[in-house]
Structure 1
Amino acid sequence: MKGASRKIDKRASDSKPSGAESSAETAFVSYASPLVDEAIEHANAVREDASPETLHKLRVSLRRLRSLWWAFEPLLDKGENTRQRALFKYLATAAGKTRDWDILIELIAQHERVAREMTPMLEEARGGALATSRETLSNADVKHLLQDALTSASKELNTAHERVPLQAFVDRRVAASERSLKKRIKRASHAKRSDYTAFHEVRKAGKKVRYLLEFFEPVLSGSHKRVLKRLKQIQKRFGTLNDIVASEMLLRDNLGLLAGSGDTGAALDWLRKERKRRMRAAAGLLRKL
């Protein structure tokens, strides 16, 4: 897989526009095609490789696709764009259901006594989730869905009567994503500490900005170093918070399935304390941004 990933990265870098002189419409496929190939490759790998890393790569590749389609939203049919982004989210969620169990298992491992009692049942539940994820992805026919999405969007853009300069377009879209992030940071900084949704919105907005900067950095005007520094801080602190919150919810939602597997009460109590601690840390970071 590592060798394949390097091939994907090289293919992506080779195919991206080398400058800002091209139009956004003609440049789209050079951004989208490598991402589609990458997602298909990871989806195929999930059939054989059930490791947490493989599932994580698939989910990330689908999130990146969703962000790219958001970036080109002003140039695409609104209804079709919304449908395609919903499709990417659906596929990412299918992969994510198993990944969520992986994260819970990793966290519970930090609580040695609880892990010793609960891990066998958690692993069994993870196996069930993996079977469901594989079935969903197989039935969805990821390869053809993603190729059709690429073909449809490319055709629409290639037949557009007007052409938008690439640099001007990506500057506007990155600026829009950065404004959205700032709004969510401001909203979360004034929210109650128990309002996780506000914190989660900051994390999602931060991911979108980071993906767009990764896509378009070679042709963007101006420096985005300050934003990138902020994004790294958000990703690290808010990511660990999200892992705790998602794991706590997953455990609560499956108490019946895990009955008799160990001290679930102790596990929930530990997760609750971790959630509060990490919420304080996230709130502290917001005050500094």
Structure 2
Amino acid sequence: MKRESRKIDKRAADSKPAGAEPSAESAFASFAAPLVDHAIECANAVHDDASPEPLHALRVSLRRLRSLWWAFEPLLDKGENTRQRALYKYLATAAGKTRDWDILIELIAQDESVARKMTPKLVEARGGALATSRETLSNADVKQLLQDALTRANKELNTAHERVSLQKFADRRVATSERSLKKRIKRASHAKRSNYAAFHDVRKSGKKLRYLLEFFEPVLSGSHKRILKRLIQIQKRFGALNDIVASEMLLRDNMGLLAGSSDTDAALHWLRNERKRRMRAAAGLLRKM
């Protein structure tokens, strides 16, 4: 991520004419191009490396792209922007199906007695998911899709008649994202513990704001170090909760793979208790905000 940020900073600086304030339209490519390159690199790695890291990196990269397209939504064709963000979500979900098995395997490994019997079957299921992920990403032609999306967005922005100050634009989009996060935090703070959706909304909104701060940090007015620190806390605590919820759901949806195994009940019992613990921890963090 730091390497990507350095690339973005350098390209933004190179695109700024001497003595002129850069516009959001002219700076878009300096943000988007490194992300597109990185996503393509990750997609290629998925086909050569079956380990969890490339899949996780690809999913994160696609989520960052989706957030960037959201940030520039006011300057882009609404219909095209919506379709593009849906595409990024679809590709991230394709990578995520295998990543979800990786997380479940990692969690089950915490109980050696259960992991010893369940892991071989989980690894087998993970192999099937990986084959599907690879096929989906290959058929989608990720490289061409992302490069075409970048070209279209660039063309639209570069031919726009009006120009918006990058700093003012970035400040407004970050402020909009901050307001959205505050609303979701308030809603989740009053929600019942069983209402995981409210907690999940906080996580998604917090992640989007964090990405925006990382994109625009060099040009934003004022300091955002305090809010960024809080966002890291949200992502860590709510991400841990999401891992448990997703793993419990994945195991329940694939009970046929482990039919007749008492270890499945033990695993579900552990996941259920861990979910409650992590839900309390997430709720505790909200009370401090």
Above 0.5 in TM-score?
A: yes
CA drift of 1:261 comes to 5.4
CA drift of 1:177 comes to 0.5
**Which amino acid letter does the alignment assign opposite residue 74 of structure 1?**
P
CA drift of 1:226 comes to 1.6
CA drift of 1:13 comes to 3.4
* Counterpart contact for 2:9–2:218, Cα < 8 Å: no
> What's the CA shift string for 1:228-260, capped at 9, x where partnerless?
121011011101000000000000000012224
Structure-to-structure mapping, 1:59-74, within 5 angstroms: 59-74=59-74
Q: Secondary structure at the match of 2:258?
A: coil
* Counterpart contact for 1:17–1:27, Cα < 8 Å: no
1:107 is aligned to 2:107:
yes
Give the corresponding residue for 2:96. 96
Give the corresponding residue for 1:141. 141
> Structure 1 residues 6 and 182 mapped into 2: Cα distance closer, same or farther (>3 Å)?
closer
**Which amino acid letter does the alignment assign opposite residue 273 of structure 2?**
K
Give the corresponding residue for 1:12. 8
Give the corresponding residue for 2:201. 201
Give the corresponding residue for 1:75. 75
Q: How far, CA to CA, are the matches of 1:123 and 1:259 in structure 2?
A: 16
**Which amino acid letter does the alignment assign opposite residue 12 of structure 2?**
K
> What's the CA shift string for 1:106-161, capped at 9, x where partnerless?
00000111101100000000000000000000000000000010011111101111
* Counterpart contact for 1:121–1:261, Cα < 8 Å: no
4+ aligned runs moved over 4 Å, structure 1: 5-10
Q: How far, CA to CA, are the matches of 1:274 and 1:101 in structure 2?
A: 17
1:226 is aligned to 2:222:
no
Q: How far, CA to CA, are the matches of 1:206 and 1:236 in structure 2?
A: 11
Q: How far, CA to CA, are the matches of 1:8 and 1:224 in structure 2?
A: 20
* Percentage of matched positions with identical amino acids: 81
Residue range with higher mean Cα deviation, 19-28 or 224-233: 19-28
Unpaired segments ≥5 residues, structure 2: none
Q: Secondary structure at the match of 1:219?
A: coil
* Counterpart contact for 1:200–1:238, Cα < 8 Å: yes
Structure-to-structure mapping, 1:118-267, within 5 angstroms: 118-260=118-260, 263-267=263-267
Q: Secondary structure at the match of 1:218?
A: coil
> Structure 1 residues 188 and 8 mapped into 2: Cα distance closer, same or farther (>3 Å)?
closer
The TM-score with structure 1 as length reference comes to 0.96
CA drift of 1:11 comes to 3.2
1:273 is aligned to 2:273:
yes
Q: How far, CA to CA, are the matches of 1:262 and 1:144 in structure 2?
A: 47
Q: How far, CA to CA, are the matches of 2:205 and 2:245 in structure 1?
A: 18
* Counterpart contact for 1:29–1:154, Cα < 8 Å: yes
CA drift of 1:15 comes to 1.1
Residue range with higher mean Cα deviation, 223-232 or 269-278: 223-232
Q: How far, CA to CA, are the matches of 1:93 and 1:82 in structure 2?
A: 16
The TM-score with structure 2 as length reference comes to 0.96
Q: Secondary structure at the match of 1:257?
A: helix
**Which amino acid letter does the alignment assign opposite residue 143 of structure 2?**
K
Q: How far, CA to CA, are the matches of 1:16 and 1:96 in structure 2?
A: 31
Unpaired segments ≥5 residues, structure 1: none
The two structures, once aligned, show a CA RMSD in angstroms of 1.5
Q: Secondary structure at the match of 1:114?
A: helix
**Which amino acid letter does the alignment assign opposite residue 254 of structure 1?**
N
Q: How many residues align?
A: 285
> Structure 1 residues 178 and 49 mapped into 2: Cα distance closer, same or farther (>3 Å)?
same
